[in-house]
Structure 1
């Protein structure tokens, strides 16, 4: 069996190849490092390091010992770290934002499970709009955001909801009442534009620049909130692709919904900044995944 000091000395000296720097890193005296190495070499029955007045080098036996020992030490450290994290109940406040009713439903289910498991951590719920959700996350105003994918430059959690796309149109629109349409209709009818503050990849995923046949998508007016977008649709100024949940959560007498047969699904997931990751955040994301629809 190796004592912790012994494996720390061997692995650190193998990195530094210098007794003084090894001692400094481990907060030991150089003489202590030398005694540990000599004692271990006696037990092994062979030299682990070749020392001279100018250099230190691993022997072949020493290199093999380091190679065999390193993964086990990492495993021990990981096990201790995992136990410490499991033993610490998340504390403080976690700021969670959502964009849209579907995300809000996912958030409520996750918050209920999280609150039961971690009563010492408060979840503060914030509603974000399509134009400010990601900017608020990037500005550090919220810790985690449940929104539509894709979002680049952030950590992305598991998909909580994946739903087909529908096209929101006025009830008297030529497309209303059809069993389905394709994205080719975006070249025939103006499409309400998402706000420029949304990530470009998210905007293009929902409303591409061209139809599948390569025709330019007709640009309609820009909406800043989802309610504003639906109002622009109702007023006849454009059509707009939405997730299937919109027909349930946003029923309006002045808006009809038609399936878009060839559109990719709308995926919702939690996203957060890597620099803002914490035990509480990871625990919340786990709860969100467990309660996903």
Structure 2
């Protein structure tokens, strides 16, 4: 109960939502956390009347516990499958609407090769993509690279980068821009839960020439980030397919002529590298040549 309560609160950062997920009272959540803090001898969360944040000790504990818990759950799941003699089930997910068709092509080929394995597909968001892999609710996910702390398959999709700006922004009518313009405008940030490597790739701290990039506000979802762009709060480097899948009259997409392409592929928890996951990665790789390249 202590570990489950701690990790749920570390994810939600809200006592009420944590209590709802665990189906206990907020008082019980508080009691469990205080007991754990007494055992450790230090505060795990900073609490105010409005916010709950992990302390450095709490962050370290969460980072240490999450892969251990996920590995344990994966091991139990594999043992249960073996004991039942069943052929299994695989949960595949996509992050971003453009990746869904690519995932479905992989699902189709995998299902023809392994008709004994049922594949379920779901969508995840920036805020829960990593958590879904860690808690086992998703076995494999097609997402942008880099994706820190996960096993990664071959690159399946590439697309050019563009800069999302407000429709009335001075850059909105430009034929193209350089990555260096990021130093001249606040850049909208991804949620805190997004991996550090991904954020460095999409919203770097410095331009290639070393100029610092000013940080704008963070959004909780991609749509929210585009809304911040539309409000003039900052600019945002995104993939070219955002034009098609996220068209907005209040946002313009300007090509970035000197940026490397965005790469996407399958990621999964190393401890959950089952035969089904390996087979799914092979299927996705085999259909990759037929996938669109931007």
TM-score higher than 0.5 = yes
Give the 5 Å matches for 1:92-103.
Answer: 92-103=88-99
Q: Which runs of 5+ in 1 are unaligned?
A: 1-89
Residue 102 of structure 1: how far off its partner (Å): 2.1
The separation in 1 between residues aligned to 2:235 and 2:189, in whole angstroms, is 9
CA contact (8 A) 1:164 1:266 kept: yes
The residue number in structure 2 matching 1:261 is 257
Q: Distance in 1 between matches of 2:265 and 2:89?
A: 21
* Contact 1:182/1:262, CA 8 A, preserved across alignment: yes
Inter-partner Cα distance in structure 2 for 1:159 and 1:137: 19
Residue 246 of structure 2, aligned match among 233, 247, 250: 250
TM-score relative to the length of structure 1 = 0.67
Measured after TM superposition, the shift of residue 227 of structure 1 is 1.0
Q: 2:132 aligns with which of 132, 136, 143?
A: 136
- CA separation in 1, counterparts of 2:98 and 2:200? 21
Residue 276 of structure 1: aligned partner = 272
Among 151, 156, 159, which residue is 1:160 paired with?
Answer: 156
Tell me, in whole angstroms, the C-alpha distance in 2 between the residues paired with 1:105 and 1:175. 32
**Residue aligning to 1:104:** 100
- Cα deviation per residue 1:34-60 (whole Å; 9 max; x = unaligned)? xxxxxxxxxxxxxxxxxxxxxxxxxxx
1:203 corresponding residue in structure 2 = 199
TM-score by length of 2: 0.66
- 1:169/1:233 contact within 8 Å kept: yes
Q: Deviations over 1:148-169 (max 9, x none)?
A: 1012322110111011111111
Superposed CA RMSD in Å reads 1.4
Distance of 1:230 and 1:112 partners within structure 2: 32
- Cα distance in 1 for partners of 2:163, 2:87 equals 43
Q: Report the CA distance between 1:195 and its aligned residue.
A: 0.9
1:107-256 aligned at under 5 Å gives the runs 107-256=103-252
Greater shift after overlay, 199-208 or 101-110? 101-110
Deviation string 1:11-67 (CA, Å, 9 cap, x unpaired) is: xxxxxxxxxxxxxxxxxxxxxxxxxxxxxxxxxxxxxxxxxxxxxxxxxxxxxxxxx
> How far did 1:134 drift?
1.8
Gaps of 5+ in 2: 1-85
Secondary structure in 2 matching 1:284? helix
Report the number of matched residues: 204
**Alignment partners' CA distance in 2, 1:213 and 1:154:** 30
Matches within 5 A, 1:15-26: none
SS at 1:157 equivalent: strand
Contact 1:134–1:145, Cα closer than 8 Å, also in 2: no
Question: Aligned equivalents of 1:192 and 1:250: distance in 2?
Answer: 16
Find the aligned partners of 1:252 and 1:123 in 2 and give their Cα distance: 34
Q: Larger C-alpha radius of gyration, 1 or 2?
A: 1
Which region of structure 1 is more displaced relative to structure 2, 160-169 or 115-124? 115-124
Instruction: Give 1:51's aligned residue.
Output: none
